[in-house]
Amino acid sequence: MTVHFEISGKNIKNIVKAIENINEECVWTFDSSGLLVRMSDVYKYKMLQLHFTKDDFISYDCDSPEDLGIIIERVKDVTKTLRTKDTLMVSYKDGEDFISLSGAGLTKKVKLIDTKLIGRVPHINVDFEYGVAVPSRPILSFLKSCGKAISFDCITAAGGFKMVCENDEGESSVAWLEDDVNLKPPTYESDTNYAVSEVMLATSIMTDIVRVQGSDKGVISFTWDLAENSSATAMIAHRE
């Protein structure tokens, strides 16, 4: 099995940032469709799935499926030297215990780890009870405004959607009324508490429009585009 691809500095830096905020170890799964990363933190509190399709690489070639065990800091040693307009070339040949990274004049062989030593996350089917599509920027600004607060409430009511956080400095909130958002189903009501820090880490590279799904006292999910044909999904458990 061989893998060879070239990716923009912007995209690989985003992928590395998203991964390092979840766990230091993960499995990169390559096949004819592109790259899939599905991982969780050590406590199984939050989960991240990245699917970067072959169409969004500058070039991509994979002759058969392969799982590679990655320690993300070893990859970051190279990607942190890249500018967003740079490119990174990555290659792997069957039987080798490393991948080769080349970008910004630097070439490095990054040692792999045995995938058996990494906790694998299966595909998860969650029965979400509501869904809404909203801009990601107000959500990210809201999370930052929570300051040292431990948690926030995610609320659906009267066809609207909002997030509310209380701390020593007062209250922060972001809200979309029924006329501003298409809550499905429009009559669904929920009020669920989530950890600010966990949601911030899981959604660190979230951009543009995000699809939020959840249920009362259940997992919350954020899905957004990584590139034109690629996507990311972050799931975070509610606080008891």
Q: What's the pLDDT tens digit per position in 116-171?
A: 999 888 777 888 999 999 999 999 999 999 988 999 999 999 999 999 999 877 89
Checking DSSP bridges between strand 59-62 and strand 2-8, what pairing results, if any? Answer: antiparallel
pLDDT at 169: 78
pLDDT at 207: 95
Q: What's the pLDDT tens digit per position in 10-42?
A: 999 999 999 999 999 999 999 999 999 999 999
Q: What's the pLDDT tens digit per position in 204-229?
A: 999 999 999 999 999 999 999 999 99
CB within 8 Å of 41: residues ≥ 6 apart: 22, 23
pLDDT at 48: 97
pLDDT at 170: 86
pTM above 0.85, yes or no: yes
For residues 92 and 101, is the Cβ–Cβ distance under 8 A?
no
If you count them, how many residues does the chain have?
240
**Domains in the chain: ranges and CATH:** 2-117 (3.70.10.10), 130-234 (3.10.150.10)
Mean pLDDT over all residues of the chain?
A: 95
pLDDT at 210: 98
pLDDT at 4: 97
